Structure 1
Amino acid sequence: MFSIPVVLIAIALGTWQLSRMEWKKEQIALRTDRASASAISFAENYPNEVADPQADEFINVWVEGEFLHDKELIMGARSLDRQLGIQIITPFTLTDGRQILINRGFVPSELKDPVQRPEGQVEGVVKIEGLLRVDGWKGYEFVRPVNDPEDNFWFYTDIKEMSLQTGLSNPVMSIYLDAGPAVNPGGYPLGGQTRIALVNNHLEYVITWYAMALILAVIYFIYHYRPVGKLEDE
């Protein structure tokens, strides 16, 4: 009553991890291919809205327009090479009047105040290259932190709430942009923060669950096995 259900559960979990491993491989390949492709014009390829943000995520695009630095947003709890910091998300007005949020990249905690990095607050029309991203919390729901719009502190991107908080009036794209690795004046924000190479240790889990199922099955067999001679004596 105990062994057989546990063996079946272990086999099921191993099979699930196997499918997760294949999905992770596909995701890494997709991100790598799209991120390494030449950037396409956002204005030309998305003249209206992005019809299917999920399908177009990680496509490399370039946009042209102006940053709205006075509406800068702070996304916290970030680190880079063991250095604590934040990421800067800035609304960007495209030359056609539409607006899109751009994650400009990492900034050390001591440079949180834009006054400390004036060179990076580029003015005028600029051309930015980056990857299309879908907003929302990417982890498990039960550990999702709560954004704090009042203090302008965000743990994850929420385009609707961020747009309301900054008072953006023009149409805001339902997808945002992770800025590429191009160096900003003064060095910060530091772009190119998109996770491309995901951790893929699912093979270890596959081996673990299948091994548990096999070991338990062997123990079950040994425990119940009786040699023919012994059965006759009994």
Structure 2
Amino acid sequence: MHAKAALIVTDTKTTTSTQRSLWFAAPFVLLVLVLLLALGTWQVKRLYWKEALMADIQQRIHAAPVPLSDIETLAASGGDIEYRTVALSGTFDHTKEQHFFATFQGQSGYYIYTPLRLSDGRTIFVNRGFVPYDMKEQAKRAAGEVSGVVSLEGLARARLAAKPSSLLPDNDRAKNIYYWKDLAAMTDSAGIEPGNVLPFFVDANDAPNPGGWPKGGVTLIDLPNNHLQYAITWYGLAAALVIVAGFAYVRGVRNSRE
């Protein structure tokens, strides 16, 4: 009789302990579930934002070119000038070109940033395109050093306010090798008065240059869009958590009744 009573007391304690464990675990499970759902929803919002951004960029790069003055006005007002098509004309000063280290179509080399002197006396740096590593010297691509007034089209590109990553090497101005687009340094190295340089760049389109170099149209528009995958992952983890918690609850209730 005493053994049976002791057993009942033990079972009661076990049941109570199981119920307490379930109640203590519930807030934690709920908190994690809310967090997972929030992360999934945030990724969905990011997905819509990224798709809208990509659509906007596609619209910009296929739009009719606008005058350079329109890009200036937009930049001065704080607007987004990235990837907007622009038409401009002027005279290149090839003696002051700057070399940006780059990889294009699997080949190492340089983007050639050349000052273009406008009719009003100001200057804008134009990324004329890519040359292979062994064609860094101008003498090896003399045919492409066009003279006189030229007209071109391209994409406006914003300047960088600072070095984008500490992992990038410092620009080597002594060797005329840039690892990030430092407009102030390029302007100083070229010996141009800063007040006479427009505060953005232009990437020339793929219109061929004499001799084939530089090769224009090098703008890379590669915006990774993995937000749907991330959203599915977070929502999947939330579903898994609900299933695991559900099984644990059912088993706990079943054990407490046995």
TM-score tier, shorter chain, comes to 0.7 to 0.9
Match of 1:38 in 2: 64
Structure 1 stretches lacking a partner, 5+ long: none
Match of 1:24 in 2: 50
Gap change, CA 1:228 and 1:197, over 3 Å in 2: closer
Residue identity in the other structure for 1:199: P
Aligned with 1:176 (options 187, 195, 201): 201
For residues 167 and 45 of structure 2, the distance between their equivalents in structure 1, rounded to whole angstroms, comes to 24
**What are the residue-to-residue correspondences of 1:165-204 with 2, within 5 Å?**
165-169=189-193, 171-196=196-221, 198-204=223-229
For residues 247 and 166 of structure 2, the distance between their equivalents in structure 1, rounded to whole angstroms, comes to 42
Q: Alpha carbon RMSD of aligned pairs, Å?
A: 2.6
Aligned residue-pair number: 231
Residue identity in the other structure for 1:189: P
- Aligned partner of residue 185 in structure 2, secondary structure: helix
Gap change, CA 1:15 and 1:112, over 3 Å in 2: farther
Pairwise CA distance, 1:4: 4.7
For residues 224 and 165 of structure 1, the distance between their equivalents in structure 2, rounded to whole angstroms, comes to 70
Matched, 1:210 2:231: no
Match of 1:129 in 2: 153
Match of 1:80 in 2: 104
Structure 2 stretches lacking a partner, 5+ long: 1-24
Runs of 4+ in 1 over 4 A off after TM superposition: 1-6, 46-49, 137-140, 227-230
For residues 125 and 38 of structure 1, the distance between their equivalents in structure 2, rounded to whole angstroms, comes to 22
Aligned with 1:153 (options 172, 177, 202): 177
Residue identity in the other structure for 2:110: I
Residue identity in the other structure for 1:126: V
Q: Deviations over 1:168-200 (max 9, x none)?
A: 125111111011111111111111122235332
Contact 1:117 1:188 in 2 (8 A): yes
Gap change, CA 1:49 and 1:11, over 3 Å in 2: closer
Superposition TM-score, scaled by structure 2 size: 0.79
For residues 9 and 137 of structure 1, the distance between their equivalents in structure 2, rounded to whole angstroms, comes to 35
Match of 1:226 in 2: 251
Instruction: Give the % identical residues.
Output: 36
Residue identity in the other structure for 1:226: R
Greater shift after overlay, 176-185 or 190-199? 190-199
For residues 74 and 226 of structure 2, the distance between their equivalents in structure 1, rounded to whole angstroms, comes to 37
Greater shift after overlay, 60-69 or 13-22? 13-22
Compare the two structures and name the one with the higher helix fraction.
Answer: 2
Pairwise CA distance, 1:216: 2.4
Gap change, CA 1:22 and 1:132, over 3 Å in 2: same
Contact 2:91 2:117 in 1 (8 A): yes
Superposition TM-score, scaled by structure 1 size: 0.86
Residue identity in the other structure for 1:114: Q
Pairwise CA distance, 1:167: 1.3
For residues 52 and 220 of structure 2, the distance between their equivalents in structure 1, rounded to whole angstroms, comes to 14
Structure having the higher Rg: 2
**What are the residue-to-residue correspondences of 1:37-56 with 2, within 5 Å?**
37-43=63-69, 45=70, 50-52=75-77, 54-56=79-81
Contact 1:130 1:177 in 2 (8 A): yes
Matched, 1:91 2:118: no
